[in-house]
Chain A
Amino acid sequence: MQWYSRDTRLLPAQGLPLLVLDFCLQQQLDCHRLLRGTRLFLDDVLQHNPAVTPEQLQRLLDNALQLLRSDDTPFLLGQRLLPGHHGSTSQALALAPNLYGALELLTELQPLLTPLLTPKFCMDEHYGYLYWLDSCGAGKLESTLVEMYTVAIIAFSRRQQGQHLPWEVSFRHSKPAHIEQYWVHIGEQLQFDQPCNLLRIPRQQLFNNWQDSGITARLARQQAQQQLQQLPACHSLLETVYRLIMEALSSPDQGRPLQLEGLAQNMGLSPATLKRHLKKHGTHFQQQLDLVRLHRALYLFHSRRLSTDAVARELGFHDSAGLRRSFKRWTGTTPSHLLTLWAPAD
């Protein structure tokens, strides 16, 4: 199988799940209540290192949040996430020569480091962008996961750089009541109610030298790649869907966007099976298609500076009015309004 879903036995329990467990036990949580419904046992985790499904990990996180009932839980957890304790994977990340190298590794080693969200990285002439895709149907946990992983990136890069980096962060959710946690753990450049969960940083910051990349770093990376190969799959189902739709949308000869049938065929599934898989992850084909088209539109508008007409043509709309209507439906705002918010600072 080329992709993992919610119920794939994916992660070694002594990686991320143990990190979460350890954190909670340090906070004096009762182990039985913490593991309730996860079908995990502490002794089993410690002795046999069983493979854990994303669903189990989500349940564990959910239990932890319910039991700790504290606003700062995702932020404190996030600080501990990267580089983590995943053997050579963490070592490779810690030895990254600069932020660019670290983010590249993060996307490559995603199933091991951030199994529940998929980071996507891209650059234009001003900025580097890191945005998050849901990997396994996070549902109501999504904003918490985004908080957690955003803090993880920011804390890790600050540690490596030795000072604060000028990250600007956009969130899909609205401004929360516990905004002070964002101020302290993330920074002051925050925007809420945005079309995607995104971190952006001026391009030159990506290449600040952290350390010289030697043989050790290369070796760690190779070993991390071997660790990755041992997993049942390197991409989540939702990411695979996203990538295939994006590829179809970006290829110039594609007259119309991909349909469910074509996508299912590409993935070697029947349309009904694909539909069922998507439903299990709390989504459906049209939602995924809209997501890809929104991201593509944002990229074309913002980074390629295309006009509405050109973007509409690229995305297979009949006219720019159709694109504007759809854009309003996806984001609640117009392309031009969004672009003023995202304008480069210089």
Chain B
Amino acid sequence: MPSFFRLHTAKLLALLALANALLLLYLGAGDLKSLQQWSWADISGEGGSAVLTLLWLCLILNSRPAGRITTLLTLGLGLMFLAWWVDTLDEFIQLPPAIHWDHWLESVPMSCGLLLLTYGLYHWHHEQLAISAQLQKRERLFREHRYFDRVTPLSGAQYLRRQIDLTLQANEQKPTSLIALDVDDFDAVNQHYGHSEGDRVLQALSQLLLLNLRPQDLLCRLAGDRFVILLPHTGEAVASNIATELQQAVSSFAYRSSEQGERIRLQVSVAVVMAGSETPEQLLERLQLALCRVRQPLALRA
């Protein structure tokens, strides 16, 4: 993960300099309180708030690039931190009764900070919506976005096992089918166009498959170039139909390589099994064997 922290060193340094200046101002104007005058409840409450605000600020700075919204959030949280900091200083330093600016120093930054933070959060919400819309349309590499993978319907083998287990338990009376789908000679794509192009092919392929599925179906990438589709409430005949349609969709899919725009022709082998009374592991194993029978040329079978 890249760290955004180094983009914001100036902001943090400015904040620390301000906090330091306030400390010096207080020390110059007032006298230190004796230990008996310390109120531990106030110190922990106000000091703790200051520390937590600073922590939030650091978390936000570390997860965001620089920009308008980051500046708003920084200003808001920074002012809140300064207000609490002044509040905390109060507990250690006694200012002469003639001085009144300390009340202003506590309340003005706090209210300004809260307003700025609210304004920043409002814009952050809009930014999130824009980012989500953009992500939906953008084609991305599979490998680099493992975190998105958990959000999109496409997950790995472990998730699939759990889903099969749940589906089988929920629909004991109704049939459940699985389709396995394996790209023929995918290694050749990797060899010919490079592994990153291969990843893009898988990414495009998964979107194509998703488009061709019903809302209740679940598509997972088992491993490598092999996908498995879980079809609840579906018998073997319907599943075979869907599998054939997927096969046709893939063979007429005109994927073009990103370098030369060359058409990469894809073919998939499919296998279908219907769940009997077996564990997800046994079911997957049966699916695997069915796929092997389809894929391997007869000449090589012992």
Contact = CB atoms under 8 A, between A and B. Distances in A.
Interface of A: 26-28, 70-72, 75-76, 79-80, 155, 158-159, 163-166, 177-178, 180-181, 183-185, 187-188, 202, 345-346
Contacts of B190: 79
Contacts of A75: 223-224
Nearest to B287: A183
A184 B225 contact: yes
A165 B157 CA distance: 26
Nearest to B220: A180
Contact of B223 (A72, A163, A188): A72
A66 to B, nearest CB: 15
13 contacts: A27-B144, A28-B143, A70-B146, A76-B195, A164-B296, A178-B157, A180-B157, A181-B224, A183-B223, A183-B226, A184-B222, A184-B226, A187-B292
A184 B187 contact: no
Interface residues of B, number: 26
Contact of B191 (A70, A71, A159, A346): A159
Contacts of A177: 158
Contacts of A155: 187
The B interface, classified by DSSP as helix, strand, loop or mixed, is: helix
Given A75-B224, A79-B190, A188-B292, A26 B300 contact: no
Contact of A159 (B182, B187, B289, B297): B187
B298 to A, nearest CB: 12
Interface in B253-302: 284, 288-289, 292, 295-297, 300-302
A188 B289 contact: yes
B196 interface: yes
A159 B186 CA distance: 11
Contacts of A70: 146
A27 B143 contact: yes
Nearest to B158: A177
Given A27-B143, A75-B224, A188-B288, A345 B302 contact: yes
A192 to B, nearest CB: 13
Closest 4 CB pairs between A and B? A184-B224, A184-B223, A180-B223, A345-B302
Contacts of B302: 166, 202, 345-346
Contact of A185 (B195, B196, B223, B288): B223
A188 B300 CA distance: 13
Contacts of B187: 79, 155, 158-159
Contacts of B157: 178, 180
A94 B164 CA distance: 43
A188 B196 CA distance: 27
A26 B224 contact: no
B300 A164 contact: yes
Nearest to B302: A345
A28 B144 contact: yes
Contacts of B195: 26, 76, 80
B230 to A, nearest CB: 14
Contacts of A185: 223-224
Contacts of A180: 157, 222-223, 226, 284, 288
Nearest to A202: B302
Considering residues B144, B195, B224, which has the most beta carbons from chain A within 10 angstroms of its beta carbon? B224
A68 to B, nearest CB: 10
Contacts of A159: 187, 191
B245 to A, nearest CB: 23
B165 to A, nearest CB: 14
Nearest to B225: A184
A55 B195 CA distance: 28
Contacts of B182: 184
A44 B224 CA distance: 34
Nearest to A183: B288
A165 B300 contact: yes
B227 to A, nearest CB: 10
A32 to B, nearest CB: 12
